[in-house]
Amino acid sequence: MAAVEKGKSEVDRLPPMGRYVFGLLRRTSDVSPIGEKELERIQEGHLGHLRKLRESGELIASGPLEEAGDLRGVLIFRTESVEHARELMRGDPAIVSGRLTLDAHRWYAPAGLATGGVQPPSPESPPGRRSGPSR
């Protein structure tokens, strides 16, 4: 175990911090049933929208939650502005269709959060899980 520097507080030991927006995608409660083809169209558009945001550098990370329920996914945006994150998601087909809503919050976390690359899945990872925006 490393020796603790005398005179330093826990705050002083924190890594450099940065501001982000942390988002939760939530299934809306008044979702009306739609056909499988329409769900697939919305999901494909949703995934494409997130891919474009990642490629542009606006979205650091995103992914579905494994538990069933109203919380469907997590997003981390490279911005300090909740309004900017909401604006980025306004074109997402799952938001436009009313299937999902975005709960967005300013988040203080270690700076340089997105400096590493995406790692390939481990052999234990579930294969290409597909979850629709409102299933």
Domain residue ranges of the chain, discontinuous segments joined by +:
15-110
State the greatest distance between any 2 C-alpha atoms of the chain, in Å, as a whole number: 64
Specify the pTM.
0.76
With CA atoms as reference, report the closest residue to 103 among 79, 85, 118: 85
| Rounded distance between C-alpha atoms, residue 52 and residue 54, angstroms | 5
Q: Could you list the pLDDT tens digit for every one of the 135 residues in the chain?
A: 455 567 788 888 878 888 999 999 999 988 888 999 999 999 999 999 999 999 999 999 999 999 878 999 999 999 999 999 999 999 999 999 999 999 999 999 888 876 654 444 455 544 444 444 444
Q: How far is it, in rounded angstroms, from Cα 98 to Cα 25?
A: 12
DSSP 90: T
Burial of 24 (0-12, 13-18, 19+ CB in 10 A): middle
Domain at 15-110, CATH homologous superfamily: Dimeric alpha+beta barrel (3.30.70.1060)
